[in-house]
């Protein structure tokens, strides 16, 4: 029987998405399980394997699974381990995740990487970066992740953890504290949580009228909705966020000369307010050698399937 299907798994702090994918990038069936109901890694992997076997039976594809690809926080492509992932209830130590899952799935090979690298592989296989050999994937979600592709290969570095662009310094002096323990990180300003934080700080520092003042708990989505309504403070927040991101993208361009920067994630849905300030700051700060030459593109993957597709793309290499 042909091994013509793969499984993609996106492991998150609260939930994990799983799906069976064909060679054209169609998600045939999918499911979601809780990631946060146990602090025991072995117990979570057992429940994940149970969910995968149910999917396989539901789709009537027994014997056709070529491999399993997993994207997870702090996932190491070289070792197959999840290492010191603070957002996973069971991931604080070194978890031999790929090995454990492969054993639970009766020997189906498993490939693991971090979630941003998985997104980059998915975009190169199925999405906006298809056909590109040199690009940088930036994921704008709760945090800021990145996957760097050079000559068609994801850059992993000597230890498997290369590409933490979200934790490069964006504000050198008096920068915000970041969850990683550093200050001034890009993630502290240009993630969804960073946008909400900017809104709260600016509301406290000024008396400028804004519909955001009526909200008890501000999210980046609230800022986006206010910007759509023409709220001046919300528009300034996106201008500020886009400028910081554009300045950092100029730095990233100068070390890898990508064909494009691909933006993905919840905050990227605010592209009508982010694109112009990003491009202006990027081109104002990059060397003339690259000015106007690097495209800024947004993920073309269907959002509900994107995480599964990104992880599944790893499995075709097995």
Mind listing the pLDDT tens digit for each residue in 138-167?
A: 999 888 999 999 999 999 999 999 999 999
Per-residue model confidence (pLDDT) at position 303 = 73
* DSSP-assigned states of every residue in the chain: ----EEEEEEE-SSEEEEEEEETT--EEEEEEEESSS-S-HHHHHHHHHHHHHHHHHHHT-TT-EEEEEEE-TTB-TTT--EES-TTSTT-SSEE-HHHHHHHHTTT--EEEE-HHHHHHHHHHHHSTTTT-SSEEEEEESSSEEEEEEETTEE--TTTS----GGGSBS--SSPPB-TTS-BSBTHHHHSHHHHHHHHHHHHHH-----GGGG-SS--HHHHHHHHHTT-HHHHHHHHHHHHHHHHHHHHHHHHH--SEEEEESGGGGGHHHHHHHHHHHHHHHS-TTTTTTSEEEE--S-HHHHHHHHHHHHHTT-
Mean pLDDT of 283-312: 92
Per-residue model confidence (pLDDT) at position 132 = 97
pLDDT at 48 over 90: yes
Q: What is the pLDDT of residues 65-92, one digit of tens each?
A: 999 999 998 999 999 999 988 789 998 8
Q: What is the pLDDT of residues 96-131, one digit of tens each?
A: 999 999 999 999 999 999 989 999 999 999 999 999
pLDDT at 42 over 90: yes
Residue ranges of domains in the chain, CATH in brackets: 5-121+304-315 (3.30.420.40), 131-299 (3.30.420.40)
Per-residue model confidence (pLDDT) at position 317 = 87
pLDDT at 302 over 90: no
CB 77 within 8 A of CB 117: yes
Per-residue model confidence (pLDDT) at position 56 = 97
Q: What is the pLDDT of residues 172-229, one digit of tens each?
A: 999 999 988 999 999 999 999 999 999 999 999 999 999 999 999 999 999 999 999 9
Give residue 13's pLDDT band: very low, low, confident or very high (50, 70, 90).
Answer: confident
pLDDT at 246 over 80: yes
Question: Which pTM does this prediction carry?
Answer: 0.90
pLDDT at 1 over 80: no
Phi then psi for residue 51, to 5 deg, are: -65, -40
Average pLDDT, rounded, for the chain: 95
Give residue 281's pLDDT band: very low, low, confident or very high (50, 70, 90).
Answer: very high
Residue appearing with tokens 């169609």: 26
Per-residue model confidence (pLDDT) at position 147 = 95
Angle between helices 192-205 and 232-256 in degrees, nearest 10: 130
């Amino acid at each position: 029987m042909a091994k013509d299907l793969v499984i993609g798994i996106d492991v998150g702090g609260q939930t994990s998405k799983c799906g069976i994918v064909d060679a054209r990038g169609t998600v045939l069936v999918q499911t979601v399980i809780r990631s946060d109901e146990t602090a025991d890694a072995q117990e979570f992997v057992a429940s994940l394997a149970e969910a995968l076997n149910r999917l396989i039976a539901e789709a009537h594809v027994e014997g056709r699974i070529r491999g399993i690809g997993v994207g997870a926080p702090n996932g190491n492509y070289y070792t197959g381990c999840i290492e010191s992932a603070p957002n996973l209830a069971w991931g604080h130590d070194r978890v031999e995740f790929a090995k454990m899952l492969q054993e639970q799935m009766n020997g189906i090979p498993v490939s693991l990487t971090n979630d941003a690298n998985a997104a980059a592989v998915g975009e190169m296989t199925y999405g906006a970066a298809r056909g590109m050999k040199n690009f940088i994937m930036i994921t704008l979600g709760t945090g800021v992740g990145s996957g760097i592709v050079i000559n068609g290969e994801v850059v992993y570095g000597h230890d498997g953890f290369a590409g933490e662009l979200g934790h490069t310094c964006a504000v050198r002096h008096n920068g915000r504290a970041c969850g990683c323990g550093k200050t001034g990180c890009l993630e502290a300003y240009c993630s969804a949580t960073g946008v909400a934080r900017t809104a709260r700080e600016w509301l406290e520092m000024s008396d400028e009228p804004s519909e955001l003042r009526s909200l008890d708990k501000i999210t980046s989505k609230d800022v986006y909705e206010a910007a759509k309504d023409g709220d001046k403070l919300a528009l300034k927040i996106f201008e500020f966020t886009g400028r910081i991101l554009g300045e950092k993208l100029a730095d990233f361009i100068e070390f890898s000369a990508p064909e494009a920067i691909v933006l993905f994630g919840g905050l990227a849905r605010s592209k009508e307010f982010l694109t112009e300030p990003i491009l202006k700051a990027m081109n104002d700060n990059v060397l003339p050698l690259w000015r106007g030459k690097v495209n800024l593109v947004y993920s073309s993957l269907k959002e509900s399937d994107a995480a599964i597709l990104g992880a599944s793309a790893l499995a075709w290499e097995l």
